[in-house]
């Protein structure tokens, strides 16, 4: 164990999981503004980025989501390790394998760019996931629609913001005794590791297995992590 990290916590496999989602400002091809949310999960750090972009059709916007995620992988230099790119649009996520053309002419142009980029990302795989497993990227995209944010191109997304998963700053007693926690149902994302800060000490909680580096089978750190997970899910749901 080093600096609070425990070797018994199962590492993320593949090394990086990149989730993306696209949301329209209005479901109309007359409005060309869309928002993008991208969320990256690594073993003990996370990254996110969201931005507004333009597309001439909803089909092209959805395809641009995949293109942007691929460009993030390239820009961040995640080329040596295995990377999984995931989203909840089945047609888009199957395109790199099927190369099935879209009937939308604008989406076809983006698809051609994806095909050209594929050889530069030999360690990337693509996976469709249900919306429930893509909530964070979806929340980032929806939140961006309500903010005055940056506009960018899917070909050159803004730099992602990396951080360790530090969610807790309150004292143990303040969270553990909170009546709001009683009876709450918490949605736990896969491979979800949270850092819990308690005074000068920090612990890591794996919400998948309810394992904490403090070594206790049931501890207040787990309660704190679950409470913070609930708060995050609640905030994301506000922008649905």
Q: Which residues have CB under 8 Å from 153's CB, separation 6+?
A: 53
The band of 41, judged by pLDDT with boundaries at 50, 70 and 90, is: confident
**Cα–Cα nearest to 92, from 102, 106, 81:** 102
| pTM, full prediction | 0.66
Q: Give the single-character DSSP code of 132.
A: G
- Given this model, what pLDDT does residue 214 score? 74
- Model pLDDT for residues 84-108, shown as the tens digit of each residue: 999 999 999 999 999 987 899 999 9
- CB atoms inside a 10 Å sphere around CB 162: 12
Dist. CA 98–CA 120, nearest whole Å: 18
**Token pair of 240, please?**
């649905």
3-class SS of residue 54: strand
Q: Give the single-character DSSP code of 138.
A: H
**Cα–Cα nearest to 193, from 156, 216, 163, 149:** 163
Among 79-88, 155-164, 227-236, the minimum mean pLDDT is found in 227-236
- pLDDT, averaged across the chain: 77
Q: Which residue has the tokens 């409470």?
A: 227
Asked if residue 172 has pLDDT above 80, the reply is no
Asked if 60 and 107 count as a contact pair (C-beta separation under 8 A), the reply is: yes
**Token pair of 10, please?**
């199962």
Asked if 68 and 154 count as a contact pair (C-beta separation under 8 A), the reply is: yes
Sorted by where each begins, the domain ranges of the chain are 16-163, 172-237
In terms of DSSP H, where are the helices of the chain?
58-75, 90-98, 105-117, 135-145, 172-176, 220-237
The band of 26, judged by pLDDT with boundaries at 50, 70 and 90, is: low
Q: Report the top-level CATH class of 16-163.
A: alpha beta
The more confident residue out of 37 and 144 is 37
């Amino acid at each position: 164990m080093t600096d609070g990290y425990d070797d018994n916590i199962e590492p993320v496999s593949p090394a990086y999981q990149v989730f993306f989602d696209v949301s329209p400002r209005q479901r109309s091809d007359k409005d060309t503004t869309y928002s993008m949310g991208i969320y990256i999960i690594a073993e003990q750090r996370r990254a996110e980025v969201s931005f507004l972009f333009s597309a001439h059709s909803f089909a092209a916007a959805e395809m641009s989501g995949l293109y942007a995620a691929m460009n993030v992988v390239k820009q961040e230099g995640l080329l040596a390790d295995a990377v999984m790119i995931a989203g909840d649009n089945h047609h888009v996520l199957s395109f790199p394998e099927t190369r099935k053309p879209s009937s939308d002419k604008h989406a076809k142009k983006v698809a051609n760019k994806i095909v050209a980029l594929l050889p530069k990302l030999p360690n990337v795989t693509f996976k469709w996931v249900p919306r429930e497993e893509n909530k964070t990227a979806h929340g980032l995209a929806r939140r961006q629609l309500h903010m005055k944010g940056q506009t960018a191109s899917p070909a050159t997304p803004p730099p992602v913001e990396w951080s360790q998963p530090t969610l807790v700053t309150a004292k143990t007693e303040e969270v553990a005794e909170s009546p709001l926690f009683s009876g709450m149902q918490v949605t736990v994302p896969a491979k979800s590791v949270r850092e819990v800060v308690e005074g000068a000490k920090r612990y890591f909680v794996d919400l998948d297995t309810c394992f904490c580096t403090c070594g206790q089978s049931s501890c207040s750190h787990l309660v704190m992590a679950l409470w913070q997970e609930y708060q995050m899910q609640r905030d994301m749901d506000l922008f649905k």
